[in-house]
Amino acid sequence: MHIALDAMGSDNAPRFEVEGAVQASLDRKCKIYLVGNEDILKKELDKYPKRGDIEIIHASQYITMDDQPVTALRQKKDSSLLVALRKLKNGEVDAVVSAGNTGAVMVGARLVLGIIQGISRPAVAQALPTKGGRVVLLDLGANVDCESRHLYDFAYMGMAYSKYALGVENPRVGLINIGGEMTKGNLVLKQAYQMLSQAEGINFVGNIEPNRVFEGDTDVAVCDGLIGNIILKTAEAVAKFVGEFMKEQIEKSSMSRLGAVLARSALLALKKTINPNEYPGAPLLGVQGVVIVLHGASSPLGIANGIRGAITAVESNLVGHIRGNVRAYYDKDISDESSNGDLTDPLKI
C-alpha cells in the first residue's frame, strides 16, 4: 500500500504531517510519501529515527489556506497537492491524503483524476458518532449550492461508504431538512425527496431534522455543503465547549476531582468520541481515486488516522463500489472511462 501525503497543506505543516506519518508508519504496513519541500521535510523527518517506510517526494510549491483554489492550481503547478494527485493518477500511489485547502483539493482531484461517470458532483463525507453507531454526513463543504440531482448522487455515494467502509449492511438514508414532512423545505429539497423516495436500491427513511442526525435515526445523512459544514463545525464547537466546561467543573473542588477519578473510564471514552482527530478523515467521494480530506487544524493523531482511513478505503475498494452503485441503479449506460463533469481541464494541470 502506497499513500501520498500532502505534507505542506495544514495549519501546522509540515510538523504535524511528518509526526502523523511516522505514527501511521509504525502500526500499518504501508509506504508513505511525504510530498513537499525536500529540505524542510528532511529536517523534520530526521527528528524521528524510529519510523516505518517513509520517503520524500520534492515539490517546490504549496497551496495555502488563503489561496483561491482555481488561481492557485493554475499558478502553482508544482504544488505538493498537485504532485501528489498526479502520482495517484499515474498509479504510483494508491491514495492521497491532505489537510490543506479543501476547495483546492476538490477542484484539483476533479481535474487530475476525473469524476466517476454518472456522478454529477463529488462530495466530502465524514463518519460522525451517534447514539447507535456512526452516521455518514455529506456534503461537508465541497458543494455549497446543490441541485436535487446532486443530493440524489450523494445518497448513493454515502450508501457505498457506509456499507463497504463502515460495515452497515443496508444503510438508512435521510435527507436533512427543516422538518420531517415531505412538504418541508425549498424546491430543491422537495424534488430530492421525490427522487429518493422513488429510487431503487435506496433505503430512504425520509426527511430528518439536524437535531436527529446524532440520534442514530439514519446511517447516511444527505445535505448540501453549506448545511453540512455548519452542522460539522457546530458539532465540533459544542464538543469543545462540553470538554472545557467539564474540565472547569472537575477542577472546582476536591469532591469533583474525586468524582472524575471514579468516572475516569467514562470521561476518557467521551473525550475520544467527541475528538474529531479520532476519526479516519473525510473521503472525497465521486472522484476516480481515493482522496482523504482532513481538517486544517488536524493534530498528528488526526493525520495518522487520515492515512489509516485512506488504507481502509483502498482495501475496501470504495471507489469501485461507488462506481458499481451508479451502474446498478442509474438509467444510463456507464462505462469505466473517467469523466471530468463540467470541468474540461481548463488549467492543463
* Assigned C-alpha cell, 268: 476518557
The one-digit pLDDT tens for each residue of the chain (349 residues) are: 999 999 998 999 899 999 999 999 998 889 999 999 999 999 999 999 999 999 999 999 999 999 999 999 999 999 999 999 999 999 999 999 999 998 899 999 999 999 998 888 899 998 888 887 889 999 988 888 899 999 999 998 999 889 888 889 899 999 999 988 888 889 999 999 999 999 888 899 999 999 888 888 899 999 999 999 898 888 878 777 877 777 777 777 776 666 656 555 655 555 555 566 666 788 999 999 999 999 888 899 999 999 999 999 999 898 998 888 777 766 544 344 334 444 444 444 4
DSSP 61: B
In the chain, the amino acid numbered 167 is: G
In contact, 292 and 257? CB cutoff 8 Å = no
User: Does a cis peptide bond (omega within 30 degrees of 0) precede residue 224?
Assistant: no
Query: Can you tell me the distance from the alpha carbon of 153 to that of 341, in angstroms, rounded to the nearest whole number?
Result: 13
Candidates 3.30.70.2740, 3.90.1150.10, 3.40.50.10950, 3.40.50.720; CATH matching 1-119+286-349: 3.40.50.10950
Q: Which three cell numbers stand for residue 193?
A: 425527496
Do the domains 1-119+286-349 and 126-276 sit in the same CATH topology, yes or no?
no
* Options 3.40.718.10, 3.50.50.60, 3.20.20.140, 3.10.580.10; CATH of 126-276: 3.40.718.10
CA-to-CA distance for 217 and 257, rounded, in angstroms?
36
φ/ψ of residue 218, rounded to 5? -150, 160
Q: Structural domain boundaries of the chain?
A: 1-119+286-349, 126-276
CB of 137 within 8 A of CB of 223?
A: yes
Under a CB-based contact definition with an 8 Å cutoff, are residues 179 and 207 in contact? yes
